[in-house]
């Protein structure tokens, strides 16, 4: 008994957030075993762990009441699905380039698209771009980070920039995206172009090219990168970043219609 208690304490110390399968494996049991259910129930009643979702749990630090514990939302969300990658506004936050903080976490996963409320807040599941799924590159331009001892996967800055320009509604809207991207101090412009080419989305080439040209001096964007994106422009102008008819400014070289504030000097990132 003492040995199992010691093993449990060691596991919980090393796994601030864990799945049922990880817990079962540590004790040499199949994940579906009844004794795993019994053990988890025991530790839930004892206040040693806190349930995050049906299959995910958080370890409660010694001498702390479970109800007072604050679960790291990014660490917890990363465990919800095996293929989960933190993206969009969550990625902006993790890279330190978010203008505002959100309560919602966005997790990219091939599973069902949904928004669920969990003990750490809301989590929105977003399916990866079709081009990534089709080519088996769901983890393209991703990186790992440590969150309180938990390794989480997050979209790299270059992919995050393109993703939030493409779907600003998943990052707080156009204004939040623009203000956040003004905080970008380093990225590889060529990787932005690589990702846009992989997605094969002409409207994305348009808005990404506009943004890179706007930040050209600060980010060291070469003529070659801009030229690559210009070859992929759509044939006709289109709306981006939440722009609406009658309230949009056309940026002719990039064939993109943007909200007025997007092309205002206040958003030039100087």
State yes or no: pLDDT of 269 exceeds 50.
no
- pLDDT tier, 266 (very low <50, low <70, confident <90, very high otherwise): very low
For CATH 1.10.10, list the domain ranges present in the chain.
2-68
Fold for the domain defined by 2-68: Arc Repressor Mutant, subunit A (1.10.10)
Q: In sequence order, which residues have a C-beta less than 8 Å from that of residue 117 and are 6 or more positions away?
A: none
Residue 84 contacts residue 107 (beta carbons within 8 Å): yes
What's the confidence (pLDDT) of residue 71?
86
Q: At what angle do helices 157-166 and 189-199 cross, to 10 degrees?
A: 50
Q: Could you tell me the pTM of the whole model? A: 0.90
| Mean pLDDT, rounded, for 116-124 | 91
Please give the backbone phi and psi of residue 54, each rounded to the nearest 5 degrees, phi first.
-55, -35
Per-residue pLDDT at 90: 97
The pLDDT value given to residue 110: 92
What is the reported pLDDT for 261?
A: 81
**What's the average model confidence in pLDDT over 213-233?**
95
Report CA dihedral (153, 196, 112, 35) to the nearest 10 degrees.
-20
- Separation of alpha carbons 86 and 70, rounded Å: 19
Answer yes or no: is pLDDT of 264 > 80.
no
Q: Model confidence at 270, in pLDDT bands (50, 70, 90)?
A: very low
């Amino acid at each position: 008994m003492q040995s199992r208690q010691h093993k449990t304490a060691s596991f919980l110390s090393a796994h601030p957030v864990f799945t049922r399968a990880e817990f079962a494996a540590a004790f040499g049991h199949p994940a579906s075993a009844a004794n795993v259910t019994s053990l988890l129930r025991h530790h839930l009643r004892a206040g040693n762990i806190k349930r995050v979702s049906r299959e995910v749990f958080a370890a409660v630090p010694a001498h702390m009441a479970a109800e007072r514990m604050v679960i790291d939302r990014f660490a917890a969300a990363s465990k919800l699905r095996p293929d989960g990658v933190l993206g969009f506004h969550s990625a902006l936050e993790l890279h330190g380039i978010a203008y505002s903080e959100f309560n919602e976490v966005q997790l990219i996963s091939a599973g069902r698209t949904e928004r669920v409320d969990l003990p750490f807040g809301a989590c929105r599941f977003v399916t990866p771009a079709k081009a990534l799924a089709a080519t088996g590159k769901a983890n393209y331009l991703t990186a790992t980070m440590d969150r309180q001892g938990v390794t989480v996967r997050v979209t790299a800055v270059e992919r995050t920039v393109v993703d939030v320009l493409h779907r600003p509604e998943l990052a707080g809207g156009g204004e939040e995206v623009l203000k956040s991207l003004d905080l970008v101090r380093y990225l590889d412009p060529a990787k932005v172009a690589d990702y846009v080419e992989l997605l094969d989305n002409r409207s994305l080439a348009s808005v990404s090219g506009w943004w890179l040209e706007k930040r050209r001096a600060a980010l060291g964007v070469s003529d070659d990168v801009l030229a690559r994106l210009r070859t992929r422009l759509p044939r006709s102008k289109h709306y981006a970043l939440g722009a609406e008819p009658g309230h949009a400014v056309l940026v002719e070289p990039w064939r993109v219609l943007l909200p007025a504030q997007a092309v205002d000097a206040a958003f030039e990132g100087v």
